[in-house]
Amino acid sequence: MSTENALLTILTEKINNDTLVLPTLPAIALKIRKAADDPDINLNKMGDVIAQDPSLSARIIKIANSAYLGRSVKVNSISQAVTRIGLSQIKNISTALAMEQLFVSKNELVKDYIKKAWDSTVDVVAYTLAALQMYNAEKRSNLSLDTMTLAALVHNIGVLPILTEAERHEDVFANPTFLNVAMQKLSGPIGGKIMESWEFENTFKDVAENWRDLSVTKDKVSYLDFVRLGAVLAGSFASQKDAVINICQQKGIVKDVNALSSDEFMEMRDVAKLIFA
Protein backbone atom coordinates (compact mmCIF):
# COMPACT_ATOMS: atom_id res chain seq x y z
CA MET A 1 0.00 0.00 0.00
CA SER A 2 1.35 3.45 -0.91
CA THR A 3 1.89 6.03 1.80
CA GLU A 4 -0.81 8.18 0.20
CA ASN A 5 -3.34 5.35 0.36
CA ALA A 6 -2.25 4.51 3.90
CA LEU A 7 -3.06 8.02 5.09
CA LEU A 8 -6.40 7.97 3.27
CA THR A 9 -7.21 4.57 4.76
CA ILE A 10 -6.32 5.65 8.29
CA LEU A 11 -8.33 8.86 8.01
CA THR A 12 -11.32 7.12 6.44
CA GLU A 13 -11.37 4.46 9.17
CA LYS A 14 -11.18 7.12 11.86
CA ILE A 15 -14.03 9.04 10.24
CA ASN A 16 -16.17 5.89 10.06
CA ASN A 17 -15.33 4.88 13.64
CA ASP A 18 -15.75 8.41 15.04
CA THR A 19 -12.20 8.31 16.41
CA LEU A 20 -10.75 11.17 14.38
CA VAL A 21 -9.61 13.96 16.67
CA LEU A 22 -11.59 17.04 15.65
CA PRO A 23 -10.62 20.61 16.50
CA THR A 24 -12.56 22.37 19.24
CA LEU A 25 -13.77 25.93 19.11
CA PRO A 26 -11.64 28.45 21.01
CA ALA A 27 -12.94 28.87 24.57
CA ILE A 28 -13.95 32.50 24.07
CA ALA A 29 -16.02 31.58 21.01
CA LEU A 30 -17.83 28.91 23.02
CA LYS A 31 -18.59 31.41 25.79
CA ILE A 32 -19.93 33.97 23.35
CA ARG A 33 -22.10 31.46 21.50
CA LYS A 34 -23.50 30.17 24.78
CA ALA A 35 -24.21 33.71 25.96
CA ALA A 36 -25.85 34.63 22.65
CA ASP A 37 -28.24 31.69 23.02
CA ASP A 38 -29.29 32.85 26.51
CA PRO A 39 -32.77 34.45 26.22
CA ASP A 40 -31.88 36.81 29.07
CA ILE A 41 -28.68 38.14 27.48
CA ASN A 42 -28.38 41.86 26.81
CA LEU A 43 -25.81 44.09 25.14
CA ASN A 44 -24.01 44.95 28.40
CA LYS A 45 -23.70 41.31 29.47
CA MET A 46 -22.44 40.33 26.02
CA GLY A 47 -19.87 43.10 26.17
CA ASP A 48 -18.64 41.73 29.51
CA VAL A 49 -18.20 38.24 27.99
CA ILE A 50 -16.23 39.53 25.00
CA ALA A 51 -14.11 41.78 27.24
CA GLN A 52 -12.63 38.63 28.81
CA ASP A 53 -10.47 38.33 25.69
CA PRO A 54 -8.58 41.61 25.05
CA SER A 55 -7.41 40.52 21.59
CA LEU A 56 -10.93 39.63 20.45
CA SER A 57 -12.28 42.83 22.01
CA ALA A 58 -9.85 44.89 19.95
CA ARG A 59 -10.88 43.08 16.76
CA ILE A 60 -14.59 43.51 17.53
CA ILE A 61 -14.03 47.27 17.94
CA LYS A 62 -12.06 47.27 14.70
CA ILE A 63 -14.84 45.59 12.76
CA ALA A 64 -17.44 47.91 14.31
CA ASN A 65 -15.44 50.84 12.94
CA SER A 66 -14.77 49.30 9.55
CA ALA A 67 -16.28 50.10 6.18
CA TYR A 68 -17.57 46.53 6.36
CA LEU A 69 -20.45 47.91 8.46
CA GLY A 70 -20.58 51.14 6.49
CA ARG A 71 -20.18 53.44 9.49
CA SER A 72 -18.15 56.63 9.68
CA VAL A 73 -18.54 57.56 13.37
CA LYS A 74 -15.96 55.65 15.39
CA VAL A 75 -16.59 53.68 18.57
CA ASN A 76 -13.91 53.18 21.21
CA SER A 77 -15.36 50.69 23.68
CA ILE A 78 -16.50 47.09 23.48
CA SER A 79 -19.99 48.04 24.73
CA GLN A 80 -20.37 50.54 21.89
CA ALA A 81 -19.03 48.00 19.39
CA VAL A 82 -21.47 45.30 20.52
CA THR A 83 -24.33 47.78 20.33
CA ARG A 84 -23.37 48.72 16.79
CA ILE A 85 -22.93 45.14 15.58
CA GLY A 86 -25.99 43.86 17.44
CA LEU A 87 -26.73 40.68 19.39
CA SER A 88 -28.08 38.90 16.33
CA GLN A 89 -24.76 39.26 14.50
CA ILE A 90 -22.19 39.19 17.29
CA LYS A 91 -22.41 35.40 17.73
CA ASN A 92 -21.17 34.59 14.23
CA ILE A 93 -18.81 37.56 13.92
CA SER A 94 -17.06 36.74 17.21
CA THR A 95 -16.77 33.07 16.25
CA ALA A 96 -15.29 34.03 12.90
CA LEU A 97 -12.72 36.35 14.46
CA ALA A 98 -11.65 33.65 16.93
CA MET A 99 -11.18 31.01 14.23
CA GLU A 100 -7.60 32.00 13.43
CA GLN A 101 -6.53 30.47 16.76
CA LEU A 102 -7.15 27.02 15.26
CA PHE A 103 -4.69 27.44 12.41
CA VAL A 104 -1.44 26.69 14.28
CA SER A 105 1.21 23.95 14.14
CA LYS A 106 4.75 23.26 15.32
CA ASN A 107 5.76 21.06 12.40
CA GLU A 108 7.42 23.19 9.72
CA LEU A 109 5.77 21.54 6.71
CA VAL A 110 2.36 21.36 8.38
CA LYS A 111 2.76 24.94 9.64
CA ASP A 112 3.28 26.05 6.06
CA TYR A 113 0.17 24.18 4.93
CA ILE A 114 -1.89 25.63 7.76
CA LYS A 115 -0.72 29.17 7.00
CA LYS A 116 -1.60 28.68 3.34
CA ALA A 117 -4.99 27.25 4.36
CA TRP A 118 -5.71 30.27 6.56
CA ASP A 119 -4.55 32.79 3.96
CA SER A 120 -6.62 31.05 1.28
CA THR A 121 -9.65 30.98 3.58
CA VAL A 122 -9.38 34.71 4.24
CA ASP A 123 -9.22 35.32 0.48
CA VAL A 124 -12.35 33.20 0.00
CA VAL A 125 -14.12 35.16 2.76
CA ALA A 126 -13.17 38.48 1.15
CA TYR A 127 -14.38 37.49 -2.32
CA THR A 128 -17.52 35.88 -0.91
CA LEU A 129 -18.50 38.99 1.04
CA ALA A 130 -17.79 41.24 -1.94
CA ALA A 131 -20.00 39.02 -4.12
CA LEU A 132 -22.83 39.12 -1.57
CA GLN A 133 -22.59 42.90 -1.24
CA MET A 134 -22.67 43.26 -5.03
CA TYR A 135 -25.71 40.97 -5.17
CA ASN A 136 -27.48 42.80 -2.33
CA ALA A 137 -26.96 46.12 -4.10
CA GLU A 138 -29.27 44.89 -6.86
CA LYS A 139 -31.59 42.51 -5.04
CA ARG A 140 -32.94 42.16 -1.53
CA SER A 141 -31.48 39.01 -0.04
CA ASN A 142 -32.19 37.13 3.18
CA LEU A 143 -28.53 36.10 3.34
CA SER A 144 -26.71 37.93 6.14
CA LEU A 145 -23.13 39.16 6.10
CA ASP A 146 -22.30 37.70 9.51
CA THR A 147 -23.53 34.22 8.57
CA MET A 148 -21.76 34.49 5.22
CA THR A 149 -18.52 35.46 6.96
CA LEU A 150 -18.59 32.43 9.24
CA ALA A 151 -19.76 30.06 6.48
CA ALA A 152 -16.85 31.10 4.27
CA LEU A 153 -14.42 30.77 7.18
CA VAL A 154 -15.45 27.20 8.00
CA HIS A 155 -15.81 26.03 4.40
CA ASN A 156 -12.41 24.29 4.41
CA ILE A 157 -12.16 23.52 8.14
CA GLY A 158 -11.94 19.81 7.32
CA VAL A 159 -8.27 20.17 6.36
CA LEU A 160 -7.24 20.73 9.99
CA PRO A 161 -7.65 17.14 11.30
CA ILE A 162 -5.84 15.87 8.20
CA LEU A 163 -2.91 18.16 8.89
CA THR A 164 -3.03 17.26 12.59
CA GLU A 165 -2.79 13.57 11.69
CA ALA A 166 0.17 14.31 9.42
CA GLU A 167 1.83 16.22 12.25
CA ARG A 168 1.39 13.28 14.65
CA HIS A 169 3.12 10.99 12.11
CA GLU A 170 5.33 13.51 10.39
CA ASP A 171 8.01 10.99 9.43
CA VAL A 172 5.46 9.14 7.30
CA PHE A 173 2.65 11.46 6.30
CA ALA A 174 4.02 15.00 6.32
CA ASN A 175 4.58 14.89 2.58
CA PRO A 176 3.04 17.34 0.05
CA THR A 177 2.32 14.61 -2.49
CA PHE A 178 -0.39 12.87 -0.50
CA LEU A 179 -1.38 15.68 1.84
CA ASN A 180 -2.87 17.47 -1.18
CA VAL A 181 -4.79 14.36 -2.23
CA ALA A 182 -6.03 13.65 1.30
CA MET A 183 -7.24 17.23 1.79
CA GLN A 184 -9.10 17.24 -1.50
CA LYS A 185 -10.75 13.86 -0.98
CA LEU A 186 -11.58 13.96 2.72
CA SER A 187 -11.85 17.58 3.88
CA GLY A 188 -15.55 17.71 2.94
CA PRO A 189 -16.87 14.81 5.05
CA ILE A 190 -14.50 15.76 7.89
CA GLY A 191 -15.70 19.36 7.72
CA GLY A 192 -19.30 18.16 8.05
CA LYS A 193 -18.40 16.16 11.15
CA ILE A 194 -16.69 19.17 12.70
CA MET A 195 -19.80 21.27 12.19
CA GLU A 196 -21.87 18.54 13.85
CA SER A 197 -19.49 18.32 16.81
CA TRP A 198 -19.62 22.10 17.22
CA GLU A 199 -23.42 21.96 17.01
CA PHE A 200 -23.47 24.53 14.21
CA GLU A 201 -26.61 25.01 12.15
CA ASN A 202 -27.08 22.93 8.99
CA THR A 203 -26.18 25.97 6.87
CA PHE A 204 -22.56 25.67 7.98
CA LYS A 205 -22.47 21.88 7.74
CA ASP A 206 -23.82 22.09 4.20
CA VAL A 207 -21.07 24.49 3.15
CA ALA A 208 -18.19 22.63 4.87
CA GLU A 209 -19.36 19.26 3.56
CA ASN A 210 -20.41 20.10 0.01
CA TRP A 211 -18.64 23.16 -1.35
CA ARG A 212 -16.39 21.04 -3.59
CA ASP A 213 -19.25 18.84 -4.82
CA LEU A 214 -21.18 20.61 -7.58
CA SER A 215 -23.66 17.75 -7.76
CA VAL A 216 -25.08 19.19 -4.54
CA THR A 217 -27.25 22.13 -5.61
CA LYS A 218 -29.96 24.34 -4.14
CA ASP A 219 -33.00 25.63 -5.98
CA LYS A 220 -32.71 29.02 -4.32
CA VAL A 221 -29.68 31.28 -3.98
CA SER A 222 -27.72 30.02 -0.98
CA TYR A 223 -24.61 30.55 1.11
CA LEU A 224 -23.15 27.53 -0.67
CA ASP A 225 -23.36 29.36 -4.03
CA PHE A 226 -21.47 32.37 -2.72
CA VAL A 227 -18.77 30.31 -0.99
CA ARG A 228 -18.16 28.40 -4.23
CA LEU A 229 -17.97 31.67 -6.14
CA GLY A 230 -15.57 33.10 -3.55
CA ALA A 231 -13.39 29.99 -3.76
CA VAL A 232 -13.29 30.22 -7.55
CA LEU A 233 -12.34 33.91 -7.48
CA ALA A 234 -9.69 33.24 -4.82
CA GLY A 235 -8.16 30.57 -7.04
CA SER A 236 -8.75 27.64 -4.68
CA PHE A 237 -11.44 26.03 -6.86
CA ALA A 238 -10.02 26.96 -10.23
CA SER A 239 -10.84 23.63 -11.90
CA GLN A 240 -14.55 24.37 -11.54
CA LYS A 241 -14.46 28.08 -12.40
CA ASP A 242 -16.54 27.94 -15.58
CA ALA A 243 -19.14 25.65 -14.02
CA VAL A 244 -19.50 27.78 -10.88
CA ILE A 245 -19.72 31.03 -12.83
CA ASN A 246 -22.34 29.49 -15.09
CA ILE A 247 -24.46 28.40 -12.10
CA CYS A 248 -24.16 31.86 -10.54
CA GLN A 249 -25.25 33.49 -13.79
CA GLN A 250 -28.24 31.16 -14.10
CA LYS A 251 -29.31 32.05 -10.54
CA GLY A 252 -28.82 35.77 -11.09
CA ILE A 253 -26.00 36.04 -8.56
CA VAL A 254 -23.71 37.35 -11.30
CA LYS A 255 -25.17 39.39 -14.14
CA ASP A 256 -21.94 40.64 -15.67
CA VAL A 257 -18.79 38.55 -15.24
CA ASN A 258 -16.68 41.66 -15.86
CA ALA A 259 -18.11 43.18 -12.69
CA LEU A 260 -16.16 40.57 -10.71
CA SER A 261 -12.90 42.23 -11.73
CA SER A 262 -14.09 45.84 -11.50
CA ASP A 263 -12.41 48.40 -9.25
CA GLU A 264 -15.58 48.65 -7.15
CA PHE A 265 -15.69 44.90 -6.57
CA MET A 266 -11.99 44.74 -5.71
CA GLU A 267 -12.41 47.57 -3.23
CA MET A 268 -15.22 45.65 -1.50
CA ARG A 269 -12.95 42.59 -1.42
CA ASP A 270 -10.09 44.57 0.11
CA VAL A 271 -12.36 46.10 2.76
CA ALA A 272 -13.63 42.64 3.72
CA LYS A 273 -10.09 41.26 3.89
CA LEU A 274 -9.03 43.99 6.32
CA ILE A 275 -11.30 42.42 8.93
CA PHE A 276 -8.67 39.72 9.44
CA ALA A 277 -5.57 41.83 8.92
Q: What is the pLDDT of residues 84-142, one digit of tens each?
A: 888 888 999 889 988 888 888 877 777 888 899 999 999 999 999 999 999 988 777 78
Distance (Å, whole) CA 6 – CA 1: 6
Q: How far is CA 63 from CA 35, 81, 155, 271, in A?
A: 20, 8, 21, 10
pLDDT at res. 67: 64
Average pLDDT (156-177) is: 78
Q: Residue 271: pLDDT band by 50, 70, 90 thresholds?
A: confident
Helices 145-154 & 223-234, crossing angle to 10 degrees?
60
Question: In the chain, what percentage of residues exceed pLDDT 70?
Answer: 93
Q: What is the pLDDT of residues 1-53, one digit of tens each?
A: 455 566 677 777 887 888 888 889 999 999 999 999 999 999 889 999 999 99
Average pLDDT (178-187) is: 82
Distance (Å, whole) CA 89 – CA 240: 32
Task: Return the closest-CA partner of residue 145 out of 210, 86, 200.
Answer: 86
**For every residue of 96-163, which 3-state class applies, written as one string?**
HHHHHHHCCCCCHHHHHHHHHHHHHHHHHHHHHHHHHHHHHHHCCCCCCHHHHHHHHHHCCCCHHHHH
76 pLDDT higher than 90:
no
pTM above 0.85, yes or no: yes
252, with CB counted inside 10 A (0-12, 13-18, 19+), is exposed
**Hey, what domains does the chain have and what are their CATH numbers?**
25-99 (no CATH), 103-277 (1.10.3210.10)
Task: Encode 47-73: b = buried (16+ Cβ within 10 Å), e = exposed.
Answer: bebbeebeebbebbbebbbeebeeeee
